[in-house]
Structure 1
Amino acid sequence: MDNDDQPIGRLLTRREMLKLLTMVGAAAAAGCAPRLGGGDAATPAATTGATAAATPTVASEAVPTLTPLAEPIATATAAAAAATAALPACVVRPEQTEGPYFVDEQLNRSDIRPDPADGSVRPGAPLALSFLVSRIAGATCAPLAGAIVDVWHCDAAGVYSGVNDSGFGSTAGQQFLRGYQTTGDGGAAAFTTIYPGWYSGRATHIHFKIRTSDGLEFTSQLYFDDALSDRVHAVEPYAGRGQRDTRNANDGIFRDGGELLTLNVTESGEGYAAVFEIGLQF
């Protein structure tokens, strides 16, 4: 399970573009230049611009109503709204490998913990994760609306859904800890998930991908402070997995810009919350 090193983000094929246009519809952002991320992505940049608060898209598909999920969803939405009101700086983040576990499930939902097939919820410390996506053009910075933000990561035991892997077997047909949201007018997309576990050869991380209607995409990963991961993983359901074998400093992918991709996590109720700001250059 340490082969998380497949090629990074790419331009989409015509078929994939048509599929993405169907997903986004008329709300997608228009008039983008033919580049997203790219060679300059690892260079930090900072400009400011007006940003309006927005409520992220709420999944329309039917998901079993589970009382424990309500508070984290509200926390994620509130965190995104509060951050958009703060006129955040646009910061270019490094692009990183997609990894072998991306599956384009097209699950439009904010709470990605349940498996839609049976409603079962992956156990773990709740994490309210919000994205603030902006567009950097010259000296201006503005929220990027209509972009699709995909999130996927392993569960507390280091297992991904929807794949066949020699390390944990087959999870084909399962869709836990996967989903996407479309950014609103304020560039916000909010998710409720769990703090990820670990697997051999990698630091604790979350994958994400941002796509636009004209076939551009940016792919990267999010990381966590090692001391926080130590505390979270010391209790169930993580503790049974044992002590992780790779910390941030020993992860070759983290060393390629991971410091700029490390979340600022705060405690929130019974779990945690984080807002990740990213500025994309076209």
Structure 2
Amino acid sequence: MKKDCVKRISVVSMLKRREVLGFLGGTAAVSLIGCWRGQSTSAKPIGRLTQTPTRKAIAQTPTCVVKPQQTEGPYFVDEKLNRSDIRSDPSNGAVKQGVPLRLVFRVSGINGRSCTPLRGATVDIWHCDALGVYSDVRDFNGDTQGQKFLRGYQVTNANGTAEFVTIYPGWYPGRTAHIHFKIRTDSASGRGSEFTSQLYFDDALTDQIYAQSPYGTKGQRTQRNDGDGIFQDGGEELMLQLTQDAQGYVGTFDIGLQMT
């Protein structure tokens, strides 16, 4: 194990309070530990597009990385929709239009000093559509109660991965482009824990996508990453690196959890 990995474990007590308390739930205490294998995997702005990662690469053992918890926000609804493609509304089959996005979570558990894929964790995601509208809520955009588009969960497999097909999120006043996610462990027993946070995107790419239809019909967005108060609370660590494929974009997000 590399020295910098050992160093991060030795100073876990010095992590910011928000990075630790976010993992307290039930009777289990969950914390995030950074444990890099070789090169750091911290996100960088998408200055250029690279080749799409292969399925084999995605299935490899994930890296343990520190990620801060962020607010759940007002739009979480525990729909219990077990599905990978979250673009449609189950009530009528209508599919939300937008730039396709394949999102892969690689969840690992920290066992002693090693990182291993975490199987059986429930990963929920939810976000607004291209015009900034959430499903199953009543807010300034209107009433979408009963609709369930752009919501769903998947359970991580033996490789610790959970994969979704969705669209690039739109925007609404006060917020930059983002996707909410929640990871729950051992939820069936009632003794599990959960971690909730958000994913963010490079502003330059967001500008390119928002110039396209249907995003462009909403007009110029009013908030960017550096002006978003929630992004400022650790958003740089939650940037989603994207690559381009034939359908749209692919993003892989690594996160490590330790049960103590």
TM-score by length of 1: 0.74
Deviation at 1:81, TM superposition (A): 4.4
CA distance in 1, matches of 2:104, 2:213: 25
The match for 1:189 is 162
The match for 1:267 is 244
Letter in 2 for 1:169: G
Q: Which runs of 5+ in 2 are unaligned?
A: 1-21, 39-51
The match for 1:36 is 30
Letter in 1 for 2:129: D
Please tell me whether residue 158 in structure 1 is matched to residue 132 in structure 2: yes
1:231-272 deviation digits (Å, cap 9, x = unpaired): 000010000111111111111111111111000011111311
Letter in 2 for 1:168: N
Aligned residue pairs: how many?
222
Q: Percent identity?
A: 57
CA distance in 1, matches of 2:24, 2:198: 15
SS in 2 for 1:90: coil
Please tell me whether residue 82 in structure 1 is matched to residue 47 in structure 2: no
Structural mapping, 1:129-278, within 5 Å: 129-165=103-139, 167-213=140-186, 214-278=191-255
Tell me: CA distance 1:182–1:88, structure 2 relative to 1, closer, same or farther (3 Å): closer
Please tell me whether residue 126 in structure 1 is matched to residue 126 in structure 2: no
User: For structure 1, which segment, 266-275 or 168-177, has the greater mean C-alpha deviation from structure 2 after superposition?
Assistant: 266-275
Structural mapping, 1:21-32, within 5 Å: none
Deviation at 1:139, TM superposition (A): 1.5
Deviation at 1:79, TM superposition (A): 5.2
Contact 1:111 1:193 in 2 (8 A): yes
The match for 1:108 is 82
Q: Which runs of 5+ in 1 are unaligned?
A: 1-7, 13-32, 50-75
Deviation at 1:9, TM superposition (A): 7.3
CA distance in 1, matches of 2:216, 2:134: 18
Tell me: CA distance 1:81–1:108, structure 2 relative to 1, closer, same or farther (3 Å): farther
SS in 2 for 1:89: coil
Letter in 2 for 1:264: Q
The match for 1:11 is 25
Tell me: CA distance 1:183–1:88, structure 2 relative to 1, closer, same or farther (3 Å): closer
C-alpha RMSD over aligned residues: 2.1
CA distance in 2, matches of 1:221, 1:254: 9
Deviation at 1:212, TM superposition (A): 1.0
1:58-110 deviation digits (Å, cap 9, x = unpaired): xxxxxxxxxxxxxxxxxx9x85642232x442102111100000000000000
The match for 2:13 is none
Tell me: CA distance 1:9–1:173, structure 2 relative to 1, closer, same or farther (3 Å): farther
1:212-246 deviation digits (Å, cap 9, x = unpaired): 12320000000000000000000100001111111
Tell me: CA distance 1:102–1:9, structure 2 relative to 1, closer, same or farther (3 Å): farther
Letter in 1 for 2:106: L
Contact 2:62 2:116 in 1 (8 A): no
Letter in 1 for 2:34: A
TM-score by length of 2: 0.80
